[in-house]
Amino acid sequence: MPRYSELMKTVEHHIANLDLADAGRKRIEWANREMPVLSAIRDRFRTEKPLQGHRIVACLHITTETANLLRTLKEGGAEVTACASNPLSTQDDVAAALVAHYGISTFCIKGEDNDTYYQHIQSALNSKPTITMDDGADTVGIIHSERRELLETIVGGTEETTTGVIRLRAMAKDNVLQYPIIAVNDADTKHLFDNRYGTGQSTLDGILRATNTLIAGKVVVVCGYGWCGRGVAKRADGLGARVIVTEIDPTKALEAVMDGFEVLPILQAAAIGDIFITLTGNKKVISREVLMNLKSGAMICNSGHFNAEIDIPALHSLASSHHESREFVEEFQLNNNRSVYLLGEGRLINLAAAEGHPASVMDMSFANQALCSEYLVQNVSKMDRNVYSVPTLIDKMVAQLKLDAMNVKIDQLTEEQERYMNSWNEGT
Ligand code: NAD
Ligand code: ADE
C-alpha cells in the first residue's frame, strides 16, 4: 500500500517513486543548511507574498538545491510546477519529496527517454504559467512553437544558463521573443561563482564518481576556456593532472596560456589526452575526426548544457560494439581496435553522475532567481519583449548577503574617496 496515496490525488505528478520522499526531504534540508541567502529570502517571501497570484513553471535540474528554490517561490505565494531541464539530472528522491512534503506538482524521472522528457515539459505547461523559469530555454522554445496559446497569460521569465541566454538573445534579435526574460546567468553573482567554482568542482566530482579514476598524472583536455572551462582546468590542475586547453577564441586561449596551461588544437590534443571534458556550449567539439584519433582507453565527457558537444552518432558509427562498463561509463570498441569510454551518455556529467554544484554556490544562483521573479512581477509593465540583465542592485545585494552569511566584512568608501572616484579635476 503506497504511503502517500491521498497526496497522489491532490498534487499532480509523474515521478519515479513516491516512497523516496523522506530520504529526499532529509537531503533537501541538508542542502538548505548551506543556502543562507535563499533562506533569508524565503523568510521574507513567507510574510510579503510577492508572487501571490502567479503560476511558475520551473524547468530546472531537479536537485536538492532546486527544491529549496521551489519552496521559496511557493512561500512567496506562487503556484509552482516543476519539470526537469535534462533527462539525466533528476534526483528521484527530491522529486518525491517535492510532491509528498512540499505539495509541488512535479514531472520528471531520472533516465527518462526523450519523448517522456518533452511530455513532462508539456504536462508542466498545462498549469498555464504566468512566469517561466528555464535552465536551457526549453519551455520558452516549446511555448513559442507548439504552445503559443500560453503566451496570452505569460508575463515574463528567467533563464539560468549560458546556452539558454544565447538562444534567447538570438530570438530577441530576430524579433520572435514574445515576453521579457531576465538572464540570471549573466549576474556576476551567478556565472563568476556557479559556472566557475560550481562547475569546476562538480564536473570533477562527476568524473570521479563515474570512474573512480586517479586524476594525478593524467592528461586532461578541457575544451572551452570560458567561465566553466576555467573552473574545471583549475580543479584538474589542483588534482595533479597535466591540463591541455582547446579554444577558438584568441583572447581566451591567451588567458589559458598565461594561466599556465598548454593550448593546442583539438586534433593534436586528441592523440595525447586521457580524459576529455567539453564545456563550450557548441556542437561536435569532439567530432568524428577527433574520435578516430583518440588513444585507446581515452575517456570523453561533457559538462556543457546540451549533449551535442560530442558527436555521439559518429561514435556509434565508428564502433563495432559497445557495452556498459559500470554505471555512467559506456565502452565503445572502435573499428581501429581502440576503446573509448563515454561518460554519462555525453550529458552534463556533474548532474548525471554526481549531484551538480554544491548548495553553497547554488545559494547565490537561486537567490538571483527568486529576486528576479519578484522584480519581474513588480516591473513587467515597464519591460519589452527582450532579454534583460539582472539589476545591479539585486546582484550586489546577493553578494553582500553571501558575505554577511560568511561573516566576511569589507571596507566602505569614505566621503572623500567617493568624491575622488567621481571627479575628473581633482589632482593627485
Ligand atoms: P562561456 O561562453 O563563458 O565559455 C564557452 C567557451 O567555449 C568560450 O570561451 C568559447 O570561445 C569556447 N568555444 C566555443 N566553441 C568552441 C570549440 N569548438 N572548441 C573550443 N572552445 C570553444 O560559457 P560558460 O558559461 O563557460 O558555459 C559553457 C557551457 O556550460 C554552456 O553550455 C553552459 O550552458 C553550460 N553550463 C553548464 C553547467 C553545469 O552545471 N554543467 C553550469 C553552467 C553552465
Ligand atoms: N546546475 C548545476 N548544479 C546544479 C544544482 N545542484 N542544482 C540545480 N541546478 C544545477
Q: What is the pLDDT of residue 7?
A: 60
- Whether the per-residue pLDDT at 423 is higher than 80: the answer is yes
The position carrying cell 533527462 is: 87
- Whether the per-residue pLDDT at 227 is higher than 80: the answer is yes
What CATH number has the domain spanning 197-352?
Answer: 3.40.50.720
The position carrying cell 529526499 is: 24
278 contacts 286 by C-beta, under 8 angstroms: yes
Band of residue 257 on the pLDDT scale cut at 50, 70, 90: very high
Task: Supply the residue whose CA is at minimum distance from atom 20 of ligand 1.
Answer: 247
- Whether the per-residue pLDDT at 6 is higher than 90: the answer is no
**Model-level pTM?**
0.97
Centroid of ligand 2 to alpha carbon of 350 (angstroms):
9
Q: What is the pLDDT of residue 1?
A: 43
Which CATH class name applies to 2-190+357-405?
alpha beta
- DSSP codes, 240-289: TPEEEEE-S-HHHHHHHHHTT-EE--HHHHHTT-SEEEE-SS-S-SB-HH
* pLDDT tens-digit map of 164-214: 999 999 999 999 999 999 999 999 999 999 999 999 999 999 999 999 999
Same CATH topology for 2-190+357-405 and 197-352: the answer is yes
**Domain residue limits, the chain:** 2-190+357-405, 197-352
- Whether the per-residue pLDDT at 274 is higher than 60: the answer is yes
Q: What is the pLDDT of residue 3?
A: 63
Q: What is the pLDDT of residue 425?
A: 87
Band of residue 9 on the pLDDT scale cut at 50, 70, 90: low
* pLDDT tens-digit map of 359-370: 999 999 999 999
Look at strands 329-334 and 319-326 and give their pairing. Answer: antiparallel
Angle at 305 between CA 300 and CA 306, to 5 degrees: 70
Q: What is the pLDDT of residue 8?
A: 64
Q: Which atom of ligand 1 is nearest to the CA of 249?
A: 11
* pLDDT tens-digit map of 116-164: 999 999 999 999 999 999 999 999 999 999 999 999 999 999 999 999 9
* pLDDT tens-digit map of 341-385: 999 999 999 999 999 999 999 999 999 999 999 999 999 999 999
Provide mean pLDDT across the span 391-401: 98
* pLDDT tens-digit map of 38-92: 999 999 999 999 999 999 999 999 999 999 999 999 999 999 999 999 999 999 9
Instruction: Please list, in sequence order, all residues whose beta carbon lies within 8 angstroms of the beta carbon of residue 242, skipping any fewer than 6 positions away.
Output: 217, 218, 219, 220, 262
354 Cβ inside 6 Å of ligand 1:
no
Ligand with smallest separation from the Cα of 227: 1
Task: Supply the residue whose CA is at minimum distance from atom 11 of ligand 1.
Answer: 249
Q: What is the DSSP letter of 311?
A: -
Task: Supply the residue whose CA is at minimum distance from atom 12 of ligand 1.
Answer: 224
Q: Which mutation among 38, 89, 279, 348 tests ligand 2's pocket best, with the greatest number of atoms within 8 A of CB?
A: 89
Task: List strand residue ranges (DSSP E) for 154-208, in order.
Answer: 156-159, 181-183
